[in-house]
């Protein structure tokens, strides 16, 4: 069964460093998303992406964050200058093109980001 994959599974970085989290969505999906989950808390929406541009973003997704689909398969989240409070699990998700099914998002296993 097709699935969303994410790399790395765990990323440790120093405060102020840039990190890039990578995701490979399900191949026929056209909507892509990033979420984060701080340990023990709820999942928080960051951004949605469709047709090579951001569809929506939350207040969390400030200028330190950017997303890109550099080729036909990868979807990346970049954090320009990491802060301690960026430590969290980051989930990528994707959903099918169009109609109501674009709400049915399939999540990857997550990347645990630890900022020291």
Partner 1 sequence: GQQLNQSPQSMFIQEGEDVSMNCTSSSIFNTWLWYKQDPGEGPVLLIALYKAGELTSNGRLTAQFGITRKDSFLNISASIPSDVGIYFCAGHTGNQFYFGTGTSLTVIP
7 sits near partner 1 (criterion: CB under 8 A)? no
Q: Which of 7, 30, 44, 64 binds partner 1 (CB under 8 A)?
A: 44
Task: Among 48, 82, 87, 94, indicate the residue that binds partner 1 (CB under 8 A).
Answer: 48
Of positions 59, 62, 63, 71, contacts partner 1 by CB under 8 A: 59
Name the minimum Å distance from CB 96 to partner 1.
Answer: 12
How many chain residues touch partner 1 (CB under 8 A)? 23
The piece of 11-19, 69-77, 78-86, 102-110 that touches partner 1 (CB under 8 A) is 102-110
Report phi then psi at 62, rounded to 5.
-95, -165
As measured in angstroms, the least distance from the Cβ of 112 to partner 1 is: 8
Residue (of 77, 45, 55) closest to 64 by Cα position: 77
Residue 57: Cβ-neighbour burial (10 angstroms; 0-12, 13-18, 19+): middle
Question: For tokens 């990528």, what's the residue?
Answer: 92
What the block records as the tokens of 99 is 């109609």
């Amino acid at each position: 069964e097709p699935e969303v994959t994410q790399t790395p599974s765990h990323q440790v970085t120093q405060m102020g460093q840039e990190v890039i989290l990578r995701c490979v969505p399900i191949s026929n999906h056209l909507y892509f998303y990033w979420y984060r989950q701080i340990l023990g808390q709820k999942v928080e929406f960051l951004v949605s992406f469709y047709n090579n541009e951001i569809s929506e973003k939350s207040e969390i997704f400030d200028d330190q964050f950017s997303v890109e689909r550099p080729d036909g398969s990868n979807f990346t989240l970049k954090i320009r200058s990491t802060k301690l409070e960026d430590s969290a699990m980051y989930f990528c998700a994707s959903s099918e093109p169009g109609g109501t099914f674009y709400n049915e998002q399939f999540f990857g296993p997550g990347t645990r980001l630890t900022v020291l």
